[in-house]
Amino acid sequence: MEFGPILRALLRNKLGVMLIALQIAFTMTVTVNAVYIIDQRSERMARPSGLDEANIFHLSSVGYGNNFNESVASTEDLALIKAIPGVVDVTVMNAIPVSGSGSSTGVGIEPDRPETSVQTAMYTSDENVLNALGLNLVSGRAFSTNDVRRGGRDMERSHSVAILTTALAERIYPGEGMQAVGRTIHSPGGRTMEIIGLVERLQTPWPESSFIEQSMLIPEVVDDGSTLYIVRTVPGERDRIMTEVEELLAAQGHERILRNNRAFEETRENSYRLDSVMATILYVVIGTLMFITAMGIVGLAVFSINRRRKQIGTRRALGATRPDILRYFLLENLLISGSGVVLGAVLTLAFNMFLVQTFDMPRIDWFYAPVGMLLLIILGQLASLAPAAKASGIAPALATRSV
């Protein structure tokens, strides 16, 4: 291997080499951190909500006339929807998971001790909620019809039952979360709730929240002029039933507006739109940087080869085979890329520390830098392959020509 002579020759032509090495280092710094951000976002977007997402849609009914009776309309609507072939179940709720809008409260094991309380999303619904959302009950029981309270905003709420996510139970009872059924928790205003069940997962309405897995279901249906229906269908029937439900409810009159008839997947997509747009932008940035860097490497290699055509011919005359010449230029690129990625690794970590300190981002995993180094070296080798192959085709007879 010709590491020594190539390195010494490169050190005598520092400027071009340094510029390309810096470009590689910069590309690596941006690329590795951008990939890490994309991975973080993708991981967030891939978190399961706990719902049977592919088969759920929701629809709101908002009354506007003086004769609108929400309780009557809701009872009729639920019966009509449930009777449609292909509907697994239907429920009413105060909020949609991962939609961006909902209610939260604090719960704790002691009353009136807000400093010990744990933050949680609070969903109100009826006895059909587990089946209608497709939630997995891992302990205790579901709501019964008798558990569900119905009334206006001012109905009595001092005591009720509740179903918690396992994440919330574990947070309230560290190490004993799975034994939470039967225990009592308290929320502000002197309200007590007996835990009757635990579900494996039910995300909060807020994808950005730090307590996304901490949710609580309360058996309440509040008449406040607006009803949100969540409908679960058998697989493959969702889109058809969405249309059918809207037409059916519209035909009932009731002086109300039907709106937001959407598949849960669409709601979820909307909530994560910013993440997905950011990932796309970062992919474009990475692609552009990689392309520019590859072109820079090609440019330097072509310039360097054209400048040394006679030298290459002389090397061939002195006994270099075509593979020897190919190897020489790939090795030369390896040294340039190698110095770039070593500098890039340092800059990557420094830039990540800046992001951690400034934007409270998580620290980059250790393997991102070596993987980035390897990828940039492969990019460098691929970019210099064509010029190196061209150089290896230079005829040895060039050594005796006066060019």
Partner 1 sequence: MLKMHNINKVFRTEVVETHALRDFSLHVAEGEFVTVTGPSGCGKTTFLNIAGLLETASSGQYLLDGEDVSALNDFQRAKMRNQKIGFIFQSFNLMPDLNLFDNVDVPLRYRGVKAAERKDRIERALDAVGLLSRKKHLPAQLSGGQQQRVAIARALVGEPRFLLADEPTGNLDSNTAEGVMELLHSINSQGTTIIMVTHDAVLASRSARNIQILDGRIIDDRRAHQKAA
Residues that bind partner 1 (CB under 8 A): 2, 4-5, 8-9, 12-13, 310-311, 314-324, 395-397, 399-400, 402
Q: How far is the CB of 20 from partner 1 (least distance, A)?
A: 17
Question: Which of residues 95 and 394 has its CB atom nearest to partner 1 in the complex?
Answer: 394
| Calculated CA dihedral for residues 132, 230, 195, 156, nearest 10 degrees | -140
- As measured in angstroms, the least distance from the Cβ of 26 to partner 1 is 26
Residue closer to partner 1 by CB (options 147, 332) is: 332
Tell the smallest beta-carbon distance from residue 388 to partner 1 (Å): 16
Q: Nearest approach, Cβ of 324 to partner 1 (angstroms)?
A: 6
Provide the minimum distance between the beta carbon of 377 and partner 1 in the complex, in angstroms, as a whole number.
Answer: 23
CB of 326 to partner 1, least distance (A): 12
Closer to partner 1 by Cβ: residue 320 or 341: 320
Strands 118-125 and 104-107: antiparallel
CA angle 201, 202, 207 (to 5 degrees): 120
Residue 107, token pair as written in the block: 């719960």
The CB-of-270 to partner 1 minimum distance in angstroms stands at 60
- Which residue's CB is nearer to partner 1, number 46 or number 318? 318
CB of 395 to partner 1, least distance (A): 7
Question: Two tokens at 227?
Answer: 């009803």
Crossing angle of helices 70-83 and 238-250, rounded to 10°: 140
Question: In terms of CB distance, is 5 or 189 closer to partner 1?
Answer: 5
Closest to partner 1 by CB, 13 or 179: 13
Is there a contact between 387 and 329 (Cβ–Cβ < 8 Å)? yes
Q: How far is the CB of 305 from partner 1 (least distance, A)?
A: 14
Cα–Cα distance, 294 to 300 (Å, whole number) = 10
Enclosing H/E stretch for 265:
helix 264-271
In the complex, minimum distance from the CB of residue 35 to partner 1, in angstroms, rounded to a whole number: 37
What's the distance, Cα to Cα, between the start and end of the chain in Å?
29
Sign of torsion, CA 49 50 54 60? negative
Neighbours of 242 (CB within 10 A): 18
Q: How many angstroms separate the CA atoms of 377 and 336, rounded?
A: 9
Q: What angle do CA 366, 367, 369 make, to 5 degrees?
A: 85
Tokens representing residue 165 in the block: 């996510």
Minimum Å gap between C-beta 378 and partner 1 is: 26
Residue 60's φ and ψ, nearest 5 degrees, are: -105, 145
Q: For residues 262 and 316, which CB has a smaller minimum distance to partner 1 in the complex?
A: 316
The nearer residue to partner 1, 210 or 402, going by C-beta atoms, is: 402
Q: Please say whether the beta carbons of 268 and 171 come within 8 A.
A: no
Q: Are 183 and 196 in contact (CB under 8 A)?
A: no
d(CA 233, CA 133): 10
Residue 161 or 394: the one with the smaller Cβ distance to partner 1 is 394
Between 86 and 396, CB nearer to partner 1 = 396
- Where helices occur in 163-263 by DSSP H, the ranges are 166-172, 238-250
CB nearer to partner 1: give 208 or 324.
324
CA distance 336 to 341: 9
- Please give the angle made by the CA atoms of 170, 173 and 177, to the nearest 5 degrees: 45
- C-alpha–C-alpha distance, residues 75 and 305, integer Å: 81
